[in-house]
Amino acid sequence: MITKAADWLRIPLGPSDGVRTMVTGMLKRVQDEGDLVIDQLALEFDNVKPTLITLKPFEEYNLDNELADSILIAHKRIEAFAKFQLGGVKSHSYRDEYGTFGQNISAIEKIGAYIPGGRYPLISTALMTLIPAKVAGSKTRIACSPSVNPALLAAASLAGATRFIQLGGVQAIAALAYGYQNTPGVDLIVGPGNIWVNEAKKQLQCIVKIDGLAGPSELLALCDGDQPLEWLALDALAQAEHDPFACSLIVSENQDWLCRLDRYLENNKQFSNLVKANQIQLIKTESVEQSIEFSESYAPEHLMLCHDGIEEKDLSNYGSLFVGANSAVALGDYITGPNHTLPTLGSARQTGGLSVNTFLRIQTIQKVNDVGRKVLSKSAMPLAKAEGLMSHYESLKIRS
């Protein structure tokens, strides 16, 4: 079914009051009683007692050669991109007649990486969350996952996890925030998760930094109709398979091409069920300008630009941009290098995805000289007086 852009409406997704209340209660119990409650919750929800896993060197997991090579290539490319990002951030300063002023870049010391493993063992997420942390210089890198798939463990080892806990869900986020079995609480938690994990991260923002609240996966493809139907259909299917609430939108002003794509989806069973569930949707726009406007308003997690009439500079709201039909989102999920942990539900209008910068602190430094003490104090005194902060005023006056 083809929907006109003017008639399309994003259905907001969020936790119910029941989810919020349950997560609040679980976190309160962990805060009050600690490890015992984490163990109880793990047994209750996953039927597994949390285990501290001693990671082995990558080679000792004896993965089949094809999978091992794939992980090694992905690791190399993700690490290279993280180093490229780090090169754009530096500690530096400048000097003027009043003193020296600058910034110091330092890594967040202790980080936790949540690696989903309930529906699928997300091997790639182990690489995407831990490699930038290691490149940034975070010394403590604790990975939590309900999965102990050998390939996931091997990837976590290769990516630099300093500790691995077999633990998932709300209880994993609580363990990372509050600490667990002599493992200290962390300063930053990163990684995607379901509605329960997101709610736990949201409620713990007052005590720990989080990377963001990622919702179900999203794809928006802007197409002019020159793309192979099968490619775009499979791109849509790939993102829709992440989660029952994941959504793929294919947007075009080319009515004939959309109709052919619609027939193709309807006549292929692997797609038709997702179309009926609105996980794959075809959006007809009236012009190139409306296609751009629709994309900018939606602010998708993954944006595919397959349209000769639209340039990269025309688009600003997206988690990651994939230019041309060669640039499959699935490549970005695994191996191109940029991170696959990206903003969803329109938050790309305010933030970008996980990167090496997430693991860094920018701290400023000020060293005022004698001239600056006198001149700047006199200049600042009227501001303090106007604000009514007289102790500030006196602090400045005595130095002027």
Backbone angles phi, psi at 241, to 5 degrees: -75, -10
Query: Domain for residue 43, yes or no?
Result: yes
The CATH number of the domain where 310 resides is what?
3.40.50.1980
Residues of the chain with pLDDT under 70: 12-14
C-alpha torsion 240→157→47→116, nearest 10: -20
Q: What is the pLDDT of residue 233?
A: 92
CA angle 134, 304, 319 (to 5 degrees): 40
Q: What is the pLDDT of residue 395?
A: 97
Q: What is the pLDDT of residue 25?
A: 95
Q: What is the pLDDT of residue 182?
A: 86
The total number of structural domains that make up the chain:
3
Same domain, yes or no, for 80 and 191?
A: yes
Position of tokens 């009050």? 32
Enumerate the β-bridge partners of residue 321: 303
Backbone angles phi, psi at 391, to 5 degrees: -70, -35
Catalytic (active-site) positions: 301-302
Same domain, yes or no, for 22 and 134?
A: yes
pLDDT in tens, 197-219: 999 999 999 999 999 887 788 99
Query: Domain for residue 293, yes or no?
Result: yes
- Angle, helix 123-136 to helix 65-86, in steps of 10 degrees: 40
Q: What is the pLDDT of residue 8?
A: 85
**Residues of the domain holding 232:** 216-349
Enumerate the β-bridge partners of residue 248: 219, 280
Q: What is the pLDDT of residue 36?
A: 94
Average pLDDT of the residues of the chain: 93
Same domain, yes or no, for 123 and 246?
A: no
Same domain, yes or no, for 316 and 177?
A: no
Q: What is the pLDDT of residue 7?
A: 82
Same domain, yes or no, for 137 and 37?
A: yes
Query: Domain for residue 10, yes or no?
Result: no
- Provide the whole-model pTM: 0.93
CA 86 distance to own-chain centroid: 17
Q: What is the pLDDT of residue 356?
A: 97
Query: Domain for residue 8, yes or no?
Result: no
Q: What is the pLDDT of residue 46?
A: 87
Same domain, yes or no, for 94 and 204?
A: yes
Same domain, yes or no, for 63 and 192?
A: yes
Query: Domain for residue 362, yes or no?
Result: no
Same domain, yes or no, for 278 and 150?
A: no
Q: CA 285, CA 296: separation in Å to the nearest integer?
A: 14
Same domain, yes or no, for 344 and 328?
A: yes
Same domain, yes or no, for 201 and 220?
A: no
